[in-house]
Structure 1
Amino acid sequence: MLRQARGAALALVIVSLAAGAAAADRVRGPVTNLPLPRYVSLKASEGNVRRGPSLTHRIDWVYVRRDMPLEVTAEFGHWRRVRDRDGAGGWVHYSLLSGVRTVLIEEDMIPLYARPAEGSQMMAKLGLGVVARLGACVQTWCEVEAGGQRGWTRKAALWGVAADELRD
């Protein structure tokens, strides 16, 4: 009987450790405690991208597209390491970034539907490279808004949202 109790206690500990390990697999930023990687957008119309996390580091280039989606991959003080759709990146001051979610349209003339189903009414089409505001997302569809048009499109046609991401 004592062996059974020890076995049950050991099983409970193993299950608890496994659950804790799954939660620990979600990497959190050391500054914000937000998930890494995560998507944000460029708040400013211009943003310097630096080689390192300080004003003394050289500027490699300048992002010049307001609302452009970026992926935060690291944090250091007031700096966030970001990458864009092309994989290019560097360090950007946090004040230039916004939590407002946007996506980049990766296919030309993708249809926007009234509901998340291809058989529903087509509301508009969006061209390649358009930046759209991200709304709700279900398994394979996301609601987006651009140029005064709102509708649902396939998640696979967007950059700036994870394939398994769900949003209300």
Structure 2
Amino acid sequence: MRDIEARVVRLRFIGNFLAVLALAGLLTGAAAAAEEPARGPVTNLPLPRFVSLKTSEGNARRGPSLSHRIDWVFRHPSMPLRLTAEYGHWRRVEDREGQGGWVHYSLLSGVRTVVVTEDLAELHLKPDPGTPVMAQAEQGAIARLGACDPLWCQISAGGQKGWVPKTALWGVDPDEVRE
């Protein structure tokens, strides 16, 4: 009888051990998947990502079709938007305040822009606060996004160009680097 009980205990131990190994394997796989960005089912591009408004007006709808009601209207051409989902010809987007909805893909552009979030943000000659200030940008200004290093981004607007701390911009991820 003790022999049978000992085998049962060993089998439980082996079963638990295998379950732990399987769980560890699943966790490792989940961690690897978490490191890789999600991809859009239509474009296979990373989600979320930033895009810009191609037109001077874009209706954001409650759902991905013309039959859904309009919840929001974007009215600033080149405005940066965070694209969070894809469905057919529709893209779910939001602005820096979280407002948005589903927009037809033809109203969006892959051209990268940013909104200046700091009042009178200084555009420096180089990505260094010790370099000369080339211009200043008002809060809410929309600028074209150029290169970015871990802390600074180059932007251009109104014929002016310079480097701004990434923390003064919306439309670029904190860890994003661009050449």
TM-score class, shorter-chain normalisation, is: 0.7 to 0.9
1:8 aligns to what? Answer: none
2:18 aligns to what? Answer: none
| CA deviation after TM superposition for structure 1 residue 25, in Å | 3.3
Q: Secondary structure at the match of 2:45?
A: coil
2:16 aligns to what? Answer: none
| CA deviation after TM superposition for structure 1 residue 21, in Å | 2.3
Structure 1 distance, partners of 2:30, 2:156, is: 38
8 Å CA contact retained: 2:61, 2:68: yes
1:25-62 per-position Cα deviation (integer Å, ceiling 9, x unaligned): 31000000000000000000010110000000001121
Q: Secondary structure at the match of 1:95?
A: helix
Larger helix proportion, structure 1 or 2? 2
The alpha-carbon distance between structure 1 residues 19 and 136, as it changes in their structure 2 partners (threshold 3 A), is farther
Larger Rg: 2
TM-score, normalised via structure 2 length? 0.82
| CA deviation after TM superposition for structure 1 residue 18, in Å | 5.5
CA RMSD of the aligned region, Å? 1.7
- After superposition, residues 102-121 of structure 1 pair within 5 angstroms as 102-121=113-132
- Residue 65 of structure 2 aligns to which amino acid in structure 1? S
1:127 and 2:138 aligned: yes
TM-score, normalised via structure 1 length? 0.87
Unpaired segments of 5 or more residues in structure 1? 1-13
1:86-112 per-position Cα deviation (integer Å, ceiling 9, x unaligned): 011100000000000000000100100
Unpaired segments of 5 or more residues in structure 2? 1-24
- Report runs of 4+ in structure 1 exceeding 6 Å deviation: none
Q: How many residues align?
A: 154
8 Å CA contact retained: 2:72, 2:101: no
1:91 and 2:89 aligned: no
1:138 and 2:149 aligned: yes
1:33 and 2:44 aligned: yes
Structure 2 distance, partners of 1:100, 1:163, is: 18
8 Å CA contact retained: 2:37, 2:46: yes
Structure 2 distance, partners of 1:110, 1:152, is: 10
Structure 2 distance, partners of 1:52, 1:37, is: 18
1:55 aligns to what? Answer: 66
Structure 2 distance, partners of 1:157, 1:75, is: 29
